[in-house]
Structure 1
Amino acid sequence: MLADPERIVVTTGYVQALVLLTTVLRDAGRPVLAMEDPGLPFHREVVRRQGGRVVPLPVDDRGVRTELLGAGGPSFAYPAALAALAAVLGAARAPA
């Protein structure tokens, strides 16, 4: 799958991406963002300070429990390793 170049946003890092995503979601009236739990409290605080609300998304030994997302709103997760557990996001869950 190729990404449309007009839909790609390059940021200086994770926190800037989180700020931009939360701001866009808040302005669109969808301020809820699922984030892995456990995760870094600082990242949750970034979302809250931008007017967002964090919904915790559990993590197990195979990574983020993406099957719990359902058809809900957006989620934000570390793509390779979870800082709190050092678990790797498995291939079966990555496409979600």
Structure 2
Amino acid sequence: MNERYEACMRACDACARACDQCAVACLREPDASGLAACVRLDVDCALMCRFASGAIARRSARAGDVCRLCADICEACARECDKHAHAHCRECAHACRACASACVEMT
């Protein structure tokens, strides 16, 4: 498998972990009810990143389409995380943008 594919899978896997961590941390915040949109996007993004990584690993003929959608969801998640001052949201936004960039390279 070429380096571009490997890099995208690594970015997807790292983003999924960051989104999982952000969602759990958001639920532990005192203002958790105000972070519901962030938690939902974190979960959506984590699931999409795992799906994209698997599509690339399987060399799916639709991997480019999956990566395009993954990039869109990652960008949406990053924008939502940018609205919050929590360190876990900043880390998640960074991972989401890195993943979106790697996914765009796959399309």
TM-score, with length taken from structure 1: 0.32
By relative contact order (CA 8 Å, sep 6+), the higher-ranking structure is: 2
Q: Which of the two has greater strand per residue?
A: 1
Q: Which of the two has greater helix per residue?
A: 2
TM-score, with length taken from structure 2: 0.29
